[in-house]
Every structure is written in C-alpha cells, then in structure tokens.
Chain A
Amino acid sequence: MDHDLMEAGWVSRGHGSIATFELIRPTRVVDALAAHRVAEDSSAAYMAGGIDQINRMQDGAAPDRVIDLSRVQGLTGISEKFGALNIGAGVTHHRIETDPMIASLAPDLAAAWATFGNIRVRMAGTIGGNIMARHPNYDGPVLLAACGARYVFEKPDGMTSLIDADSWPDVPPGADAASGALLTRIVIPTGGDRRLVFDRSLKPVISVAVAVDGNGGGRAAMGCAFAEPVCVAFDVGANAGEIAAEIAGALPVPIRDVFAGSDYRRRMARVLLERQITLLAEMGP
C-alpha cells in the first residue's frame, strides 16, 4: 500500500494497513488457551467471526499473534441442559435465529436476535464476538442480561469461571483479554415461563429488553445509553408506569452524544420500559 496516498486521503486508512501477524488455527480449547500465552512484549488476540477484530486491526490494533477460533471444537454447539440453553460462543447470529431448538425453547430470544445488523453480519458474526466486543450499542449483551444469562470462560490455569451477564460490565474491558480467558459458551435459563420483549427502534439512542417470569420477577436491560448495558431487577406487581418511572429515575447518568442528551435518553428509557411492561402484561403468562 502506498502510504503517501493513504496520508493524502486518497485511500481508506483501513485498506491494506493491517500489519502482518502470526496465525494460529487450533482445534481444541486447550490449544487456543496455550496459544494465547505469549512473551510479555508480544500480544495475542482471539478471532471468532472476525467482524470486530478486523475492525480493531483496521483501527490500528496490531496483535503479534491472531488465534482463529473457527476450527475449535465445542464452540459451535447448541444444547439444552438442566432447564437452560447452552449456546457455544462460536454460534453465529444466523444460527440463533434459525436453530430449531432455540426456536422451541426461546422463540422470543430467536425473534429478537433476528433483528441484529443485517444478513451478512448475522451469517459471520458470533454470539461470543458480540459479547467480547463490548460495544455499547450491541444488542446481544442487553438481551442476555434481561434473560439472566451466564457467560462461561475457560481460563489458562485450567479453571472455569461463570460470570452473570448483568455483572459483565463490572469486568474491566481488556481484563478478559489480558488474562487469556476464552468465552466458550453462554447459558440461558429457559424455564419459569419467561417472556421477553425487545425494542431497538430508538437505536442508537437507547435499546431496551424486558423479561418477566411466571413468579412475578422482571429484569430490564438497557443498551446504547451507557458505556455498558445496565440491568435492573423489578417486581411485576405494580403499575407499569410506576415501575418504569422508578427504574428510569434510578439509572446512572446516561451518556450524551450527537444522537441525544442524557435527559432525553432517560426519558426514552421510561417510555420504552412502560410500553414493554404493559405489552408483557397484556400478553399474559
């Protein structure tokens, strides 16, 4: 690539500007974890679908080693176990929207997942990549937090760690990458007559997912409005307007950007929450 042309703006900054790297293509999780261990002055990155990793590299990230996860066994399974869906981190968005088991056990989740991005993105992107990208506007972590999902990580020391989706924002971005831990699957409870609704019509201002269960418990998760999704638990009993006002009033200060101010985002959180809680009540158990 002619860097003079790039400097002059005649060529996209991203095009051809990715530095060469060592490629590792393991077939087992243990080998992927081992490959992530590099010398202190080197860096390594996992790559699943590649959408975000390539964007990061086009933006200047230059890992010395890239570990391609597409051949790793066990990352693309979908199964049901003990009342929960287990979705491999390497499962694509398109499979989530079309898989018969997910359609049977969590049709509302499959329907919400079908609204992500576009068909090219959904065929390449993975649920694990969506989580690990930690992009404030991505929908996966919002939906998974509302569903009470848990993320399963395999660590280089051989241990397995479980992280609740709604506490995932507490893990500092980069800490997971630095540790070399690998997200292998996502566990999503399917019992309890859970119903889920998702509204992304106001993206990139705010997105809201609300789930309620048959025992009167509810969870509301909001994306786009904060650096990471915010998830709040509530009791379904009260009036929808009151619940929405209480949740919206207690939210941390939403971000302010070219799309909307903080007050508008908070107001829209209340509006969408009331609308969705009302909708869930009308849907009935």
Chain B
Amino acid sequence: MTEQIELFVNDEEHFITVDTSEMLVDVLRDRLGLKGAKIGCDRGVCGACTVLVNGDPTASCSTFAWRVDGARIVTIEGLAGEEGALDPVQQAFFEAGALQCGYCTPGMILLAKSLLARNPHPDRAEITDWMGANICRCTGYKMIIDAVEIAAATGEGQ
C-alpha cells in the first residue's frame, strides 16, 4: 500500500509515492541518491542514519517516510556552501581530526548542528551528553567532542 508524500530535502521539493513500510533512509539513499545517511544498526540506536527533520535529529532508519510528509529535511549533503565550502561544523571536525573510518561522521555532524542550533555555546558536559546519542565504532569520541567545542567557539556552528 502506498502514500503520496511531499518532502523538502536540502531545500528541494520532492513529491514521492512511497510504500507504507518504506523507511526515510531508503527514500534518501535509493530514491534521491543522498548516500550520506548511513545504515548501521538499522534499529535507531547507533545514529549513523541521523538526519534533521524540522531541525530535530532523527534516526532515518527507524522513521517511516510517510511520517515526515511535509517536513523539512537536512542531510549531510545539504550543509555544503558555495563551491563545496565546508560548513563550520564540518570544518571543526576537519580541524580536530574527528573522524577515522568516517561512517558515523555525517550523523555526528548533523547531531552537533541540532545541538548548536538550540544552544550555540554548550559546555563540554552538555556536548558530551548530547553527542552520546550517536555511536562511533572507532571510539574517537574525544576528538568529536573537541570538534563540537571548536564549532561552538566560532559561534557559527548553528
């Protein structure tokens, strides 16, 4: 059974017919070609599939596509500036060396964006608590938290 939905993904409007059982991550990756959202645990636990839905960090592997009908969605592809310029949070991850294999990185960056949008200057404890929602299998957590601190210090992370 299908549903007709409207999505605004990275400021582009899409009208898509989805099966009721289809997950948002599959629409993003397989229909729209946005491969930045990764499928890790496929249970909404690891956060590799995190995208922003109306600004909220959301596990796209465990969200039915119809549930976000009409929503504004931001994927990692949507952060790039003119001529591929890095977003301040991406730049901070680069400066802090906050990635190893990189599989968790898109989800981590979007999770950090959602924090900085709400609280532009979080302290380290707040960053640690918020970023604890996602898992890095390389366990590079210190650099990830450092990166969010760097982004917060610039005041441009949100």
For A, the interface residue count at a CB cutoff of 8 angstroms equals: 25
Q: What 1/0 flags go to B107-142 for Cβ under 8 Å of A?
A: 000010011000000000000011011100000000
Cβ of A118 and Cβ of B59 under 8 Å apart? Answer: no
- CB closest residue in chain B, given A19: B21
Cβ of B19 and Cβ of A20 under 8 Å apart? Answer: yes
Tell which of B26, B64, B111 has the most Cβ of chain A within 10 Å: B64
Q: 16 pairs across A/B with beta carbons < 8 Å?
A: A12-B42, A19-B21, A20-B19, A20-B21, A21-B1, A21-B20, A22-B20, A50-B62, A51-B44, A54-B44, A58-B43, A68-B66, A118-B132, A119-B111, A120-B57, A120-B58
Cβ of A120 and Cβ of B20 under 8 Å apart? Answer: no
Min CB–CB distance A209 → chain B (angstroms) = 21
Cβ of B3 and Cβ of A124 under 8 Å apart? Answer: no
B residues near A66, Cβ cutoff 8 Å: 20
A residues near B39, Cβ cutoff 8 Å: 12, 15
Cβ of B59 and Cβ of A14 under 8 Å apart? Answer: no
Cβ of B58 and Cβ of A123 under 8 Å apart? Answer: yes
Cα distance, A55 to B45, chains bound together (Å): 11
Decide yes or no whether B158 CB sits under 8 A from chain A: no
Min CB–CB distance B136 → chain A (angstroms) = 14
Min CB–CB distance B33 → chain A (angstroms) = 18
Cβ of A120 and Cβ of B21 under 8 Å apart? Answer: no
B residues near A118, Cβ cutoff 8 Å: 132-133
Cβ of A23 and Cβ of B57 under 8 Å apart? Answer: no
Decide yes or no whether B56 CB sits under 8 A from chain A: yes
Min CB–CB distance B21 → chain A (angstroms) = 4
Number of A-B residue pairs at CB separation under 8 A: 71
Q: A23-B66, A50-B67, A54-B64 are in contact. Are A14 and B57 (CB under 8 A)?
A: no
**Size bin of chain B's contact surface:** 20 to 34
- CB closest residue in chain B, given A25: B66
B residues near A262, Cβ cutoff 8 Å: none
Min CB–CB distance B158 → chain A (angstroms) = 16
B residues near A18, Cβ cutoff 8 Å: 21
A residues near B67, Cβ cutoff 8 Å: 50, 68, 70
Decide yes or no whether B91 CB sits under 8 A from chain A: no
A residues near B58, Cβ cutoff 8 Å: 120, 123-124
Q: A68-B67, A119-B130 are in contact. Are A20 and B44 (CB under 8 A)?
A: no
Decide yes or no whether B75 CB sits under 8 A from chain A: no
A residues near B132, Cβ cutoff 8 Å: 118
Min CB–CB distance A176 → chain B (angstroms) = 23
Cβ of B64 and Cβ of A50 under 8 Å apart? Answer: yes
- Identify which of B1, B47, B133, B134 contacts A22 (C-beta below 8 A): B1
6 pairs of A and B residues whose beta carbons are closest in the complex: A118-B133, A18-B21, A12-B42, A23-B20, A15-B42, A120-B133
Decide yes or no whether A100 CB sits under 8 A from chain B: no
Decide yes or no whether B90 CB sits under 8 A from chain A: no
B residues near A58, Cβ cutoff 8 Å: 42-43
Tell which of B3, B44, B47, B57 has the most Cβ of chain A within 10 Å: B44
Q: A120-B44, A124-B58 are in contact. Are A50 and B20 (CB under 8 A)?
A: no
Decide yes or no whether A60 CB sits under 8 A from chain B: no
- CB closest residue in chain A, given B25: A15
Q: What 1/0 flags go to A68-106 for Cβ under 8 Å of B?
A: 101000000000000000000000000000000000000
Q: A20-B21, A22-B20 are in contact. Are A50 and B43 (CB under 8 A)?
A: no
Cα distance, A267 to B101, chains bound together (Å): 43
Decide yes or no whether B50 CB sits under 8 A from chain A: yes
Q: Besides A18-B21, A50-B67, A124-B56, 7 other CB < 8 A contacts?
A: A15-B61, A20-B20, A21-B1, A23-B66, A57-B21, A118-B133, A120-B133
Decide yes or no whether A217 CB sits under 8 A from chain B: no
Min CB–CB distance B9 → chain A (angstroms) = 19
Cβ of B1 and Cβ of A123 under 8 Å apart? Answer: no
Cβ of A23 and Cβ of B3 under 8 Å apart? Answer: yes
Min CB–CB distance B61 → chain A (angstroms) = 8
Cα distance, A281 to B154, chains bound together (Å): 46
- CB closest residue in chain A, given B129: A119
B residues near A120, Cβ cutoff 8 Å: 44, 47, 50, 57-59, 111, 133-134
